[in-house]
Amino acid sequence: MTQTFRQFLVTAFQHGDYTTDDVIACVLPLFRTVIKIHEDQLVAPFEREEALIAEGQTLTMNTDMAGMPQFNIPAVNALTRSQSPHFEVVDKVKITDDNAVSLRIQTDLQQPLKHPAYIPGYQGYEMLLSHHDEQTDIFCLGLVLGSMAMSLDLYDEKNSRCLSRTAPTQVVTNNVFTRPWAR
């Protein structure tokens, strides 16, 4: 049965998590397809939800939807220019009253990006800036791999937040350290 990856994710984990071998068997055909797309000097169409497809328990991509790379380095640099080379910012948090929300995910795609962020689905933020190259595809493949390995549907905001929480964040509120997820 052929379906979009999004449709596949609805029932993909109903029988439990995938084993390591299952994850590899699932994503390897997709990785090979993207390699072939890159060999043709094109980029994979991750921005088109209907291009990422599941055939049974394996993932692949409609190669007819592949496109030319797009380069907009100035726009990407504008978002990262404020980052210091001397330290790494691991999270940006918005604090309101008793709530702390990670800004590493941008769910409202109608709002302009203010910094690099995860976006819903299986795309890189660079794609919203009209920048899409082979490295962008590798990042997108990593999202798919991580999603399958951790049984996450990244179209779902709650699941996206789980993936983006790569390092615990401590927030200082009223001189007291708190962990936003422990509330």
Averaged over successive runs of 10 residues, the pLDDT of the chain (183 residues) comes to 95 94 98 98 97 96 98 90 62 61 75 86 94 96 95 89 55 39 38
Judge contact between 62 and 51, C-beta under 8 A: yes
Q: Strand runs (DSSP E) across the chain, as ranges?
A: 2-4, 52-55, 58-61, 93-96, 99-102, 171-173, 176-178
Distance between the two ends of the chain, CA-based, in angstroms?
42
Q: State both tokens at 56.
A: 């049974």
> Where do the domains of the chain lie, and which CATH numbers do they carry?
2-182 (1.10.510)
Listed in sequence order, the residues at least 6 apart from 24 whose beta carbon sits closer than 8 Å to its beta carbon are none
Tell me the whole-structure pTM to 2 decimals: 0.80
Judge contact between 169 and 92, C-beta under 8 A: no
Instruction: Name which of 147, 126, 148 is nearest 137 in CA terms.
Output: 126
At 48-68, the pLDDT tens digits run 999 999 999 999 999 999 999
Diameter of the chain by CA atoms? 56
Residue type, 9: L
